[in-house]
Structure 1
């Protein structure tokens, strides 16, 4: 009796292990974040077309995705470190900040770039033509004071304008605001916000207003195109989920291909996903604009890193851009 009972028990356990109905492994949830703006178009495509789910399935992994939108990369970093997020996205400033802070422990690294896009500092103050014209009566809205990519570019521009040691000269004029709120505040003409350092499409929408002029273009600061947005994750996530990491990069590559091959359809997708009021013609124009480069290749990361390290923004400096990103993309022609 004991022997028959044992055999039956083993057989039952084997049946369960082989995947009885209802007892198969549940899909893995992947938690991803995006921000406001057309710079996150590749992520919108991944979300709507379920590209990550498809690529993961081809690698033998079932996943579900949950997406959340943040106003800045700083808030995402907090969510990532508290284990409430798997993939964060944002500008180079927040990426380098968390990379430097987590070296040797959480080891946060970039997964891939999302684009190379210029950032415009616009103003409604008719007396401001260069950043040297800002006064105590001005306030500059940007996603996060000191650490957002806009804040870092403003410091770089200030150093060029006012000389070494003066990179923080305009910091006290900056205010942390989401892009929609910053644009609304500036254009209202009733706020302390007289300038907005933002991104597409907000910067272009602002320039349609005759009161608005461009004060600064980030491409001028760098002498050419630079990465605007990237995606990053904790090192242990890649170690524990290599198939998901590979699936993410493959899905992102597919999204880039869709942007190149059918910009009009991708414009429709983005407008619907973001509930944007931007006209389709303008959205297509932004997607096709040669200054907006849709690529996973990191560009001028070392220029950001060297400045931030030299001025105390980050304590550690990478030797090469590959130190900041996962080894999966180390073969790309980045900088």
Structure 2
């Protein structure tokens, strides 16, 4: 999951932010497009898609025959581009992407709900490394995007805690940009120059299971107590204001999806494999979800978001420091009891 860096915004997006012309439609919608990503982190979205939960919830709100088109994106940046251009109405991406757009649009992009806070892990195969203090200048750590990805920011937060509040960038020079699949392949190569990977499930699970000597250095739940929400549904305030019943339908469907996952986990895994194309066996995915903290992490409650926002503001990614998590979530989401 990568964040749009403040230096990486396209000319088209900057123009949209100036004119605000791309931020949704003021008319009530009969058809919406929602983005999704192929990861176990986004399992609730896949359950909503397969079971038509948003359409069913919308019908109960009085919107008959709502059409929901789920469109796959490989990165959060591409999805947020599509939101700003008006090509999609709701994005399901990382919390950091939503916070950045909330900031850049001066509050005209806000969250609807989160639906997972699965723990992420810094894994290494280097036998001499057991804490952040053991990293030397030549020890490389793979992250999806240096400095601005969720994992890179979590590493900065961890450095603050271990080395002191002014040492958040201490290990930035150790990080190298590498997608999760490539990083996992590098971890499996004993001669690979990158011996650590701050990854998301299922990649960290596979590394711990298959890479000789692989072990956890630190977990996201160690860094942010209670966990950090990742999969986040967000939209423009213009769309939300024009479509309050759709927003409520998304909230209802999200809760139904989370409840279904917890009550019917194996069936949910089958849905995940069907819609994501992941060839991992049902039993292996079930084993991943059986790891500590995994099932409880499927929740609509925004977790750890203010800690994350505070750090993003400290390092200059956010220009505005929110006073509360409710600043960047819709009023309809106020009952989620976030933090």
Same fold (TM over 0.5): yes
Return the TM-score normalized by structure 1: 0.83
Work out whether 1:183 is the aligned partner of 2:187: no
- Cα 1:247–1:223 change in 2 (3 A) is closer
Summarize the alignment of residues 69-84 of structure 1 with structure 2, pairs less than 5 Å apart. Answer: 69-84=72-87
Contact 2:187 2:207 (8 Å CA) reproduced: no
Structure 1 residue 143 displacement after superposition: 2.6
Contact 2:303 2:338 (8 Å CA) reproduced: yes
Offset from partner CA, 1:129-169 (integer Å, 9 cap, x none): 22233344343222333222212111101122222222122
Contact 1:119 1:198 (8 Å CA) reproduced: yes
Summarize the alignment of residues 196-215 of structure 1 with structure 2, pairs less than 5 Å apart. Answer: 196-209=197-210, 210-215=212-217
- Cα 1:264–1:103 change in 2 (3 A) is same
**Given the alignment, which residue of 100, 113, 129 partners 1:97?**
100
Aligned partner of 1:331 in structure 2 is 335
Tell me the secondary structure at the aligned position of residue 128 of structure 1.
coil
Tell me the secondary structure at the aligned position of residue 330 of structure 1.
helix
Offset from partner CA, 1:81-101 (integer Å, 9 cap, x none): 222322222332222222111
| Structure 2: 5+ residue stretches without partners | 1-28
Return the TM-score normalized by structure 2: 0.83
**Given the alignment, which residue of 308, 311, 314 partners 2:315?**
311
| Alpha-carbon distance between aligned partners in 1 of 2:99 and 2:174, rounded to the nearest angstrom | 23
Aligned partner of 1:273 in structure 2 is 275
Aligned partner of 1:7 in structure 2 is none
Contact 1:227 1:300 (8 Å CA) reproduced: yes
| CA RMSD, 1 decimal | 2.2
| Alpha-carbon distance between aligned partners in 2 of 1:28 and 1:187, rounded to the nearest angstrom | 48
Structure 1 residue 191 displacement after superposition: 4.4
| Alpha-carbon distance between aligned partners in 2 of 1:71 and 1:297, rounded to the nearest angstrom | 25
Work out whether 1:127 is the aligned partner of 2:103: no
Contact 2:226 2:303 (8 Å CA) reproduced: no
| Alpha-carbon distance between aligned partners in 1 of 2:333 and 2:37, rounded to the nearest angstrom | 23
Summarize the alignment of residues 1-335 of structure 1 with structure 2, pairs less than 5 Å apart. Answer: 28-58=30-60, 59-104=62-107, 107-189=108-190, 191-209=192-210, 210-292=212-294, 293-335=297-339
Segment of structure 1 superposing worse, 233-242 or 168-177: 168-177
Contact 1:122 1:214 (8 Å CA) reproduced: yes
- Cα 1:144–1:61 change in 2 (3 A) is farther
| Alpha-carbon distance between aligned partners in 1 of 2:229 and 2:167, rounded to the nearest angstrom | 24
| Paired positions, count | 307
- Cα 1:63–1:184 change in 2 (3 A) is farther
The structure with the largest alpha-carbon Rg is 1
Segment of structure 1 superposing worse, 60-69 or 301-310: 60-69
| Alpha-carbon distance between aligned partners in 1 of 2:79 and 2:57, rounded to the nearest angstrom | 25
- Cα 1:193–1:79 change in 2 (3 A) is farther
Tell me the secondary structure at the aligned position of residue 103 of structure 1.
coil
Offset from partner CA, 1:251-299 (integer Å, 9 cap, x none): 1111111112111111111122222232322322333445122110111
- Cα 1:317–1:311 change in 2 (3 A) is same
| Alpha-carbon distance between aligned partners in 1 of 2:153 and 2:189, rounded to the nearest angstrom | 26
Offset from partner CA, 1:182-236 (integer Å, 9 cap, x none): 3223323454432221211111111002232211111111233332321111111
| Alpha-carbon distance between aligned partners in 1 of 2:329 and 2:75, rounded to the nearest angstrom | 20
